[in-house]
Structure 1
Amino acid sequence: YRCSYMKNFVASDFSILIVDYHPENLKLLGNVLVKAGYNLNFATNCQEARQKISHLHPNLILFDLKVAEDNGCGVCHQLQEDLKHQHIPMIFMTVNKERKYLNYNFELGVIDYLQKPFDYEEVLAKVKTHLIIKQKSDELKESEAKLNTIITHLYDGILIIDRDGVVKFANPAAARIFGQPLEALLNHSLGIPILTSDKALLDFIHPNGKLGVAEITVGKTEWQGETVDIICLRDVSDRQKVMEELEVALTKQKELSEELEKQATTDGLTNIYNRRQIMKLAAQEFDRSIRYQHPFSILMMDIDKFKIINDTYGHQIGDRVIIEMVKAVLKNIRKVDILGRLGGDEFMAILPETNQKQAVEVAERICLGMREIEITFEAEIIKVYTSIGVASYSEEIINLEDMISYADKALYQAKRGGRNQFCTV
């Protein structure tokens, strides 16, 4: 059985320093480790050991206990105090089996010991094990250093809290958001209610006294052997402001766009479709009628003797007559029907899914509705009437222009027939 993390172990990636008085020990131990693939360096006294540790930075030190004793374990103390080398693992080689003495050496940073005379299989096993541990420890430290750098300089606030809601870790950004020094946050209870998996917003006071908003995201993770909640606090104060300003700008843009669309498609006086739009919609409805062979009719209308009304009573009364006429027409057509102003007192009504008989009924209703209009001007009552030409789609009609021409002819007939009526052709 081999652990998966040992499969990628390459002995030549590691260097070992052996410190021993006896050249014979150096030779015997060295041969075993070189044969296993390790890079070796040797020292026969503490001074030489210090120099090689400083220059070579070995991954592991095999230290003869006798050498250490003769020098008051100075090298061990030096490694403990030197930040650059204090994590180099040391294995003592000794003939002393007294457990109490060995424990004392462990306090100096010694991680293990090898008994003389050597069991070389044991030597290889312990060397490999402690090098792997060292490698993984270095990787972990490097990872923690990177993570710490990221978290320290992260704009978002990070909190790690235990099951009781007590802060076990906080980064500078979290301290800034809460307006507290880091030490004031650590071991401070946030309370259980904040522990939610949902995203939420938290109001806070900036150090400058301004109200801020933080977005809270909570997730679970493992930290120092226990399940904890990691809370991300993102200061979205500016984002909220930007979003509000963006929303206002988008709303304004939408309103301007709708207003522009309205101005481009509707008549300013009556708020019904203008000539351009009503003709566009009529063309669409005509094409649909041909494609699906559905009935379709249009009404061409104008106000009887409108020029006389306009010249006699003025443009304000003329505008009022047009508005009242539009109200009467809209009152007597369906919601699916479409009304547009072609210009002056001329109007078109589009009647989808409407045959000639049904269109005539609509025209008749409109004429009756117009007769109810009475406009008072200086004690005089002005009556308003309309003439209507009705045209319905048939096989002999080739295009919309033909249909409009038929409706115009019918309108002319209604005028010639005495006005205040409708006609078909």
Structure 2
Amino acid sequence: HNVTALQDVTDQLRAQNRFLEQLNHLTRTILLSENEQDVLPLLAQLSTDLFHASQAFIIVGDENQVEVFPPLKEGETAQRATLMTLTAQALETGKPLIKTAKSSNVFASIMVLPLVSDKMRLGALCLAWKQPHHLDEIQMQRGEQVASQVSLALAKLRLLKEVQLLAVKDDLTGAYNHRYLNLTGQHLFARARRYQEALSVLMFDLDRFKAINDRYGHLNGDLLLRQVARRCQESIRASDILVRYGGDEFVILLPQTDLETATHIARRLHTAVTSTPIYLEGTTVTLTFSMGITTLDENVPDLESLIRHADQALYHAKHSGKNRICTYTEAL
């Protein structure tokens, strides 16, 4: 009897050591990760191995968008609906949830572990078995340990993303800054060249901004720039990139956009910014702006030249009476 008991304890210790080694591997993977899209499918696979599950899913998101890692295939809507329902229940209670189905074409047993960090609900780790699977107290504890590590990973990755955004965003307007323009612009330029895609650039500044700034003060000038940036952001597409180039000057990168479409976007922006007065502290102002447009062609050697062409078209617009849109030509 003593020998059997000793063997049981030895087996338990070995199993615990194996679990701790795998957990350590999962933690190292987390610490080295920099991208949610890359690491979450890997963490799901490691969780599958840890618990000898048929499959593991990590579900993240908010009320606007939910993502499942690894992504579910087409036709797996029943699994998705089940996972979403159980995730919502687990996040509501903040406690692990176990569901066992007597007969199921999908999963016989599911354990859902809420992912929470600093009271922030991040999502859930879902472990699923196709055959009925008994989940004892030890497995529950291990599940919570793994969920805690995955929660830390998500919190770390989101903090990293916020820090990276701060490094490439303009503090005042929330538009992107010069650094982001160079990083992303070079990539878009290279891609446009390689795949023979269209790429257009808009550059504009506000007419008589200095006079407005001098008359109403710098705080109102800052408020004005923020509102202009907001109106622009609301008027452009998700793929377009708004950059504060300096002072009251902005650049907009338009990927996969030809001259005709760029001109249409420019007119829409002009209407958005100039058609409605902007409310400042104690007053309102009606703005006008001047804009230059250019599109990539075989004669443009690099991104700097493309932006310079937009700048030359803007200069022409300013010196042709302001409040107008000009397109770059070699004659400028």
Question: TM-score if structure 2 supplies the norm length?
Answer: 0.57
1:150-183 C-alpha deviation (Å, 9 max, x unpaired): 1255548xxxxxxxxxxxxxxxxxxxxxxxxxxx
Match of residue 7 from structure 2: 150
Q: 1:363 aligns with which of 246, 254, 266?
A: 266
DSSP 3-state at the match of 1:364: helix
**How has the CA–CA distance of structure 1 residues 378 and 338 changed in structure 2, closer, same or farther, with 3 Å as cutoff?**
closer
Match of 1:72 in 2: none
- Residue in 2 aligned with 1:275? 178
Q: Give the unaligned 5+ runs of structure 2.
A: 14-99, 112-128
Report the Cα distance in structure 2 between the residues aligned to 1:232 and 1:320, rounded to whole angstroms: 58
Matches within 5 A, 1:21-420: 147-151=4-8, 155=12, 233=136, 235-236=138-139, 239=142, 242-243=145-146, 245-377=148-280, 380-420=283-323
Q: 1:420 to 1:353 in 2, by over 3 A?
A: same
Partner deviation per Cα, 1:319-378 (whole Å, 9 max, x = no partner): 221122123323333232221222321211111222223322222222222212313446
- Residues 394 and 251 from structure 1, CA distance in 2 versus in 1: closer, same or farther, beyond 3 angstroms? closer
The 3-state SS of whatever aligns with 1:341 is strand
Give the equivalent residue in structure 2 for 1:91.
none
1:158-214 deviation per Cα after TM superposition (whole angstroms, max 9, x unaligned): xxxxxxxxxxxxxxxxxxxxxxxxxxxxxxxxxxx9x9996688xxxxxxxxxxxxx
More moved, 248-257 vs 344-353: 248-257
Distance 1:321 1:152, change over 3 A: closer
Tell me how far 1:394 sits from its aligned partner: 1.5
Q: SS at the partner of 1:350? A: strand
1:423 Cα deviation after fit: 0.9
Distance 1:149 1:267 in 2: 65
SS of residue in 1 equivalent to 2:301: coil
Mapped partners of 1:254, 1:413: distance in 2: 45
Mean Cα deviation higher: 411-420 or 310-319: 310-319
Instruction: Label 1:326 to 1:237 Cα distance change in 2 as closer, same or farther (>3 A).
Output: same
Judged with a 3 Å threshold, the aligned counterparts in structure 2 of structure 1 residues 344 and 236 are, in CA distance, closer, same or farther, namely same
Residue 308 (structure 1) shift: 2.1
Please give the secondary structure, in 2, of the residue aligned with 1:150. Answer: helix
Query: What residue ranges of structure 1 are gaps of 5+ in the alignment?
Result: 1-143, 157-192, 202-216, 220-230
CA contact (8 A) 2:224 2:280 kept: no
Separation of aligned partners in 1, 2:297 and 2:270? 25
Indicate the larger mover: 415-424 or 245-254: 245-254
SS at match of 1:359: helix
Counterpart of 1:168?
none
Give the direction of change, closer, same or farther, for the CA distance of 1:412–1:266 in structure 2 (3 Å limit).
same
The aligned amino acid for 1:315 is H
Point out which structure has higher relative CO (alpha carbons under 8 A, 6+ apart): 2
Question: Which residue pairs with 1:206 in the alignment?
Answer: none
Separation in structure 2 between the aligned mates of residue 275 and residue 240 of structure 1, nearest angstrom: 45
**RMSD of Structure 2 on Structure 1 (CA):** 3.6
Q: Is the 8 A contact 2:192 2:198 kept in 1?
A: yes
